């Protein structure tokens, strides 16, 4: 590990600042030491970069094209919104247009690029922040509230900046990203320059950003209120993703303790791992298939070494980040063929785009109050049918002589499956007419909405397999936003309702004789895996970095013991009771399997 410069911070009295500790929620394991980079923005996330004299001109060009694009977008929105009901909305967008036409505002931003050598994003933020601060002091309430329009305009310019060439994103090697919230697309972009860790105010274990962080083996913690106000760019930070701790400006003693832990974390131990083994059995001979959930397909090779037998869940919406919008049919064919070739006979299950309306191009136009309950996943596919059909066509063609299956996200009703089957048939007919080769992918449904659990006996009649998405299932069963830090304590994976739902779905698949794969984060937890096995799970699909730990558990427990555990928890009334029983049973029977885990206690597993 390269040496890290310790940043001394002096108080006004000349004393060195002592270390500060923050308690956080661990959302990705590992330890890292580095220097803070504060990340700002929501849709378009960015941080301060100092540009050189030579880069000023191109940065000005980026800004001007972004402003141009933003103006065009607003014009289009205003022109298309003609009906009476939308008059108020149009008024808002006209106000935005007015702000964007203000030459003095744009000149100020340009001057900030020229004089301060700020990247365009930072110049937009700092100038508009200044305006916003002034507006907030205005006494007149109506005028004061106009700061919201300014923020919206800033957001629109920043989003437009994202469409153009990116101003160089090269984080320093030891960067620790600190943000209120980090979008998965931002993490993918920043991931290319290998940050050390992430610290966020919002998000939970099952947030996509942190699922991705774990896939990237990037330590992460969340849940520190106001963290952006408490740290500054360049300050030294330790992130302890095992114990949920963040230490700002550590003293020498703390630093040397953590340097050792950080170095250990960098070296994954492959000891005792047989790379050829991909079939796992419990001690009493029940076979459990382990698959990988992959959002970054290039890492399948590594997942396979760990023991993955194919990809149980490929979240195709990650292509959306890469192409900054719906990828074309040809782009999709190429991407899917690439994954299918990598995976070979073990196969890949491609989930159709699980997007929310917010992630589509013009977000300012279509904000939803409850995106998780809104036009999302299969519902969005039904509305944006052209895109869903293009995706079906792409998957059909890519599956020619390849092992690819299709999964439909967020199914809440059998009719959605029937419609998807009709559309799929239409695309098959079309390809046949055009004499284009295509395969015959199996069709599965994600079970993650309570209504799907309640009609599961009807669903199994219409699909070839089930994928149990426990992340959303917990969210929707318990009405707890999986991304909202303030309700994280209500996100109880071991709630009796969750156990009952999982059991019911596995039973329905068993009765019908079709496979059911558990692909939520629950499957990747060594603590939960025995419960799933006891409930009848035969396929677990998980984050690549969970495979070694889960495989050790799968092969170290007997089905009978897992079944006995399920019998003990089945009559519990509360999540607490279930957790207690699981901890007790794990300690009595499987403590040896958890011996090398760095997590402080089994209790911390129970909270995931």
Positions that interact with ligand PEP (CB under 6 A): 313, 315, 354, 448, 469-472, 519-520
Q: Is 132 helix (H, G, I), strand (E, B) or coil?
A: helix
Q: What percent of the chain is helix, strand and coil (3-state, nearest 5)?
A: 50, 15, 35
Cβ distance to ligand PEP smaller for residue 346 or 354: 354
Using CB under 5 A, list all residues that contact Mg ion.
448, 469, 472
Q: At 126, list the tokens.
A: 């700092």
Q: For residue 553, what are the CA distances in angstroms to 9, 471, 492, 525?
A: 46, 21, 22, 10
* Binds 315: which of ligand PEP, Mg ion, none (CB < 5-8 Å by kind): ligand PEP
Closest CB to Mg ion among 113 and 467?
467
Q: By C-beta, is 27 or 51 nearer to ligand PEP?
A: 27
Q: Which is nearer to ligand PEP, 224 or 480 (CB)?
A: 480
| Residues 263/33, Cβ–Cβ less than 8 Å | no
Closer to ligand PEP at the Cβ: 255 or 517? 517
Q: Are 291 and 517 in contact (CB under 8 A)?
A: yes
Structure-token pair, residue 426: 């239409």
E strand segments, 462-562: 465-468, 516-518, 539-543
370 phi-psi bin (left φ>0, alpha ψ -120 to 50, beta other): beta
Q: Of 121 and 472, which has the nearer Cβ to Mg ion?
A: 472
Is residue 14 classed exposed, middle or buried when 0-12, 13-18 and 19+ CB atoms within 10 A define those classes?
exposed
Residues 228, 231, 234, 237, CA torsion sign:
negative
346 versus 448: smaller Cβ distance to Mg ion: 448
Residue 261 dihedral angles phi and psi, to the nearest 5°:
-65, -40
DSSP-derived secondary structure letter, 376: B
Q: Which residues of 446-485 are buried (b: 16+ CB within 10 A; e: fewer)?
A: bbbbeebbeebeebbebbebbbbbbbbbbbbbbebbbbbb
> How near is the Cβ of 288 to Mg ion at its closest, in Å?
22
Indicate which of Mg ion, ligand PEP, none lies near residue 520 (CB less than 5 to 8 Å, by partner kind): ligand PEP
Q: Which does 185 bind (CB under 5 to 8 A by kind): ligand PEP, Mg ion, none?
A: none
**Four-residue CA torsion sign, 80, 82, 83, 87:** positive
Are 307 and 290 in contact by the 8 Å Cβ rule? The answer is yes
Give whichever of 181 and 521 is closer to Mg ion, judged by the CB atom: 521
**Cβ 563 to ligand PEP, closest distance in Å?**
24
Three-class SS state of 581: helix
Compute CA distances 129 → 44, 113, 134, 142, 458, whole Å. Answer: 16, 15, 9, 19, 54
Q: How far is the CB of 208 from ligand PEP (least distance, A)?
A: 6
Distance CA 427, CA 99 (A): 46
Exactly one of 96, 384, 467, 519 is catalytic; name it.
Answer: 519
Q: Is 208 a catalytic residue?
A: yes
Catalytic residue among 38, 40, 96, 208: 208
CA distance 89 to 515: 48
Using CB distances below 5 to 8 A depending on partner kind, what does residue 546 bind out of ligand PEP, Mg ion, none?
none
Residue pointed to by tokens 């083994």:
277
In the complex, the smallest distance separating the C-beta of residue 522 from ligand PEP, rounded to whole angstroms, is 8
By beta-carbon proximity to Mg ion, the closer residue of 174 and 472 is 472
Cβ contact 104:130 at 8 Å: no
Please work out, in degrees rounded to the nearest 5, the angle formed at the alpha carbon of residue 339 by the alpha carbons of 337 and 341: 65
**Alpha carbons 494 and 525: distance in angstroms, whole number:** 12
The contacts found for 419-423 with CB under 8 angstroms, 24 or more apart, are 419/382, 420/378, 420/381, 420/388, 421/462, 423/385, 423/388, 423/389, 423/392
Shortest distance (Å) from residue 327 CB to ligand PEP: 18
CB of residue 517 to ligand PEP, shortest distance in Å: 10
Shortest Cβ distance from residue 101 to ligand PEP (Å)? 41
Closest residue to Mg ion, judged by C-beta, is: 472
CB of 241 to Mg ion, least distance (A): 23
Which residue number places its CB atom closest to ligand PEP?
Answer: 469
Closer CB to ligand PEP, residue 181 or residue 472? Answer: 472
3-class secondary-structure state, position 384: coil
| Distance of closest approach, residue 314 Cβ to Mg ion, in angstroms | 13
Residue 187 beta carbon to ligand PEP: minimum distance, rounded to whole angstroms: 15
- Report how far residue 40's alpha carbon sits from residue 181's, in angstroms, rounded to the nearest whole number: 9
Instruction: List, by residue number, the catalytic residues.
Output: 208, 519
């Amino acid at each position: 590990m390269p040496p890290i410069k310790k940043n001394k911070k002096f108080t006004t009295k000349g004393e060195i600042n002592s270390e500060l500790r923050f308690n956080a929620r661990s959302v990705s394991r590992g330890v890292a030491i580095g220097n803070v980079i504060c990340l700002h923005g929501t849709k378009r996330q960015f941080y301060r970069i100092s540009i050189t004299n030579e880069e000023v001109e191109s940065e000005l060009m980026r800004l001007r094209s972004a402003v141009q694009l933003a103006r065009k977008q607003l014009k289009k929105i205003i022109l298309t919104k003609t009906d009476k009901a939308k008059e108020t909305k149009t008024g808002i967008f006209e106000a935005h247009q007015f702000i964007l036409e203000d030459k003095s505002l744009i000149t100020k931003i340009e001057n900030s690029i020229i004089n301060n050598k700020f990247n365009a994003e930072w110049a937009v933020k700092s100038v508009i922040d200044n305006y916003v601060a002034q507006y907030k002091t205005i006494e007149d309430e109506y005028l004061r509230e106009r700061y919201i329009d300014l923020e919206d305009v800033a957001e629109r310019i920043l989003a437009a900046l994202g469409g153009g060439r990116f101003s160089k994103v090269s984080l320093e090697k030891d960067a620790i990203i600190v943000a209120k919230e980090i979008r998965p697309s931002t993490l993918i972009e920043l991931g290319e320059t290998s940050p050390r860790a992430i610290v966020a105010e919002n998000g939970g274990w099952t947030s996509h950003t942190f699922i991705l962080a774990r896939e990237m083996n990037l330590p992460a913690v969340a849940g520190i209120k106001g963290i952006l106000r408490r740290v500054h760019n360049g300050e030294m930070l330790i992130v302890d993703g095992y114990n949920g701790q963040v230490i700002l400006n550590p003293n020498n003693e703390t630093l040397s303790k953590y340097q050792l832990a950080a170095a250990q974390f960098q070296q994954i131990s492959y000891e005792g791992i047989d790379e050829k083994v991909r079939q796992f059995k419990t001690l009493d001979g029940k076979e459990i298939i382990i698959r990988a959930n992959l959002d970054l397909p290039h890492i399948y090779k590594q997942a396979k070494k760990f023991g993955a037998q194919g990809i149980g869940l490929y979240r195709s919406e990650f292509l959306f980040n890469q192409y900054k919008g719906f990828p074309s049919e040809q782009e999709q064919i190429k991407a899917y063929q690439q994954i299918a070739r990598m995976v070979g006979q073990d196969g890949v299950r491609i989930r159709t785009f699980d997007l929310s309306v917010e992630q589509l191009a013009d977000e300012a136009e279509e904000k939803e109050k409850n995106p998780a309950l809104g036009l999302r996943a299969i519902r969005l596919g039904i509305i944006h049918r052209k895109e869903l059909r293009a995706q079906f066509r792409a998957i059909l063609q890519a599956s020619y002589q390849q092992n690819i299956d299709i999964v439909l996200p967020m199914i809440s009703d059998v009719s959605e499956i029937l419609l998807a089957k009709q559309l799929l048939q239409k695309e098959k007919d079309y390809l046949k007419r055009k004499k284009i080769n295509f395969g015959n992918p199996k069709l599965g449904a994600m079970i993650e909405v309570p209504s799907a659990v309640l009609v599961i006996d009807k669903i199994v009649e219409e699909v070839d397999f089930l994928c149990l998405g426990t992340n959303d299932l917990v969210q929707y069963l318990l009405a707890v936003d999986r991304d909202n830090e303030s309700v994280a304590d209500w996100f109880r994976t071991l709630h009796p309702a969750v156990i009952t739902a999982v059991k019911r779905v596995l039973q329905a698949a068993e009765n019908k004789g079709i496979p059911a794969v558990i692909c939520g984060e629950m499957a990747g937890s060594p603590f939960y895996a025995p419960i799933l096995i006891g409930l009848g799970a035969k396929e677990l699909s998980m984050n690549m970095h969970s495979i070694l730990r889960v495989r050790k558990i799968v092969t170290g427990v007997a089905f009978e013991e897992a079944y006995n555990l399920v019998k003990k928890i089945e009559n519990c009334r509360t999540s607490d009771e279930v957790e207690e029983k699981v901890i007790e049973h794990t300690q009595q029977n499987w403590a040896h399997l958890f011996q090398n885990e760095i997590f402080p206690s089994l209790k911390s597993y129970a909270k995931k």
